Each structure stands twice: as C-alpha cells, then as structure tokens.
Amino acid sequence: MLQAQITRGRQSAQVCSAQRRGDAETRVSAIGGARTAVRTISGVALMQARELALMVAVAAMLPLQLVGGSDPGRAPLPPAQTDAAPKARPVLLVHGFGGGKSSWAVIAENLSARGLTVDAVTYPPFGASVEQLADRLVLEVKRTLSQTGAEKVHLVGHSLGGVVIAQAIAGGRLAGLIDTVVTLGSPFGGSPWAKLLPFGAIVPALRENSPLLRRLASAPIPDGVRWLAFSAALDVIVPGPRSIPAHAEVEAITIRGVGHLGMLFSRQVVGRIVAALPA
C-alpha cells in the first residue's frame, strides 16, 4: 500500500512538472510569436512611414512641376556614330504622376554604369491627357533613335508612366522600335486613389474600368516586345494585381517589403531592371 502511494505521488509530481514545462514552453512560444509579430508590424510601419515621407516630398515638388522648374533641362544625347556596328539600345524613363527626372536617380545611375544611354521624359502633372503624353513619348522615342543610331529602345515607366507607355505602344506607331518594356506599379487595373482626385484629364483615366484602361487591356503586346511588370506587395496606391497588365505575355514580378515609391530605390528592383535590359 505504501509503495503504491509513493508511486502515485511520483507520477503526480511528474505530471505537474510536465504541465509546468508545457506551460512554460507555451509562454515562451507565445512571447516569441508576439515578438515576431511586433517586428513584422514595426517593419511594415517603418516602410509605410518612408512611403509617406516620399509622398510628401513629391507633393512638395508639385508647384515646381506646374511651372516646369523641378528638373534640369534634358542633357543632349550623344550624336549617332557613322560606323555600321550595331548600336547599344538606349533607355527612356517615364516618371509617374507628380514625379520628375530626379525620381530615376538610382535606376539611371545603375543603368548608366552598365554603359547604357539613359534619358528621361518629363511632363507636368496637369494640363495634358494620357493620350497627349503618349504622343510626346512617341516623338521622344523617334528622336532618341535618330540621335543615337540605335534600332530599338527600352522603355521603363513608373506608375502613370507605365500607362503612358502602354498607350504609346497600343497605337501601333512604335511597331518594331521597342525592345523591352518595364513597368513599376502602373495602374493598369486602376488606382483607388484616383476616385479621390476629381480634377484634371489624367486622374479620371486612372480609375478602375475607365474607357482608357479598358481599351489598353484589350490591346496585345506587339511582336518582339518583352514586358516586365513589377508590383509591390505593400503598395497602397496601386495594390495587388492592379499593376499587372491583362496581357498573358507579361512577366509579372512581385517585390516584397517595399511600397509604391520604394520600388524606385529598391536594390532588388534595380538589379532586376539592369539584368533585364540588354545592350
């Protein structure tokens, strides 16, 4: 009898000890999970704070954009060479709404370091439609090809810039003149923010199911054109798949840990762009 009581006591003590260990492990696991959640939330909050700071900076530049003073004048492209060797394909950069040539500082520097000729198309945020900006881009492409002697160009557009590129290509006037298109957070599926800005000709065109976006969705990619569409997992301006064109031929790339403007400074994005644009 005494031995049985001793045995039961030991078993009870073991059970209690196991329960205490289990409770402790549960608490440790909960604490670890909470710390992970806090780090994740803190990281997202920090990223969004950076995005907000970038947006404020862009907004502060809008008055200068309206008077055309936000960026220095376009540097002349090098004259075309006279030899018969194939020319390196230049890159034209098209910024987003409220942006400017300075928006491309990091990407342009890395492309130039690779030996590519880089230029940026600039435009004011108001006073023109997407169609008019596309007309201007067509002229810039032809000017660039004429001055460099290259056969084709690469086009890179951020946000609205990608829609402008799509409109320029859809008209058929750039057939055979484009090698690679890269779009970053472009609102092919519309931007929810466009509903909050009722003014101007551009903003209504960027609303979901606008006539312009429906027309672009049905326009196929021209033969021989490679298209890379980047989306940012934390983009609140053009969220989720809205930045991916409807074309089946598009190569969709999602970047983690950055937002709408952060893509312009992301090492991962810059590296992918540099690797994607052949000379």
Is the confidence at residue 247, as pLDDT, over 50?
yes
What does the pLDDT read at residue 65?
A: 42
Which domains does the chain carry? 66-74+86-276 (3.40.50.1820)
Residue range 170-224, pLDDT digits in tens? 989 999 999 999 999 999 999 998 888 766 788 899 999 999 999 999 888 888 9
pLDDT of residue 240 exceeding 90, the answer is: no
- pLDDT at residue 201, as a whole number: 80
Tell whether the model's pLDDT for residue 239 goes beyond 70: yes
Say whether pLDDT at 4 is over 90: no
Q: What does the pLDDT read at residue 82? A: 41
Mean pLDDT over 80-101 rounds to 77
Spatial contact of 111 and 274, defined as CB atoms under 8 Å apart: yes
Per-residue pLDDT of 31-76, as tens digits, reads 555 444 334 344 444 454 554 454 444 444 444 444 444 443 344 4
Please report the pLDDT score of residue 14 as a whole number.
57
pLDDT at 196: 81
Note the pLDDT tens digit of each residue in 102-155.
999 999 999 999 999 999 999 887 778 999 999 999 999 999 999 999 999 999
Lowest mean pLDDT among 77-81, 92-96, 153-157, 230-234: 77-81
Residue 203 vs residues 5, 16, 59, 130, 247: alpha-carbon distances, Å? 82, 67, 15, 9, 23
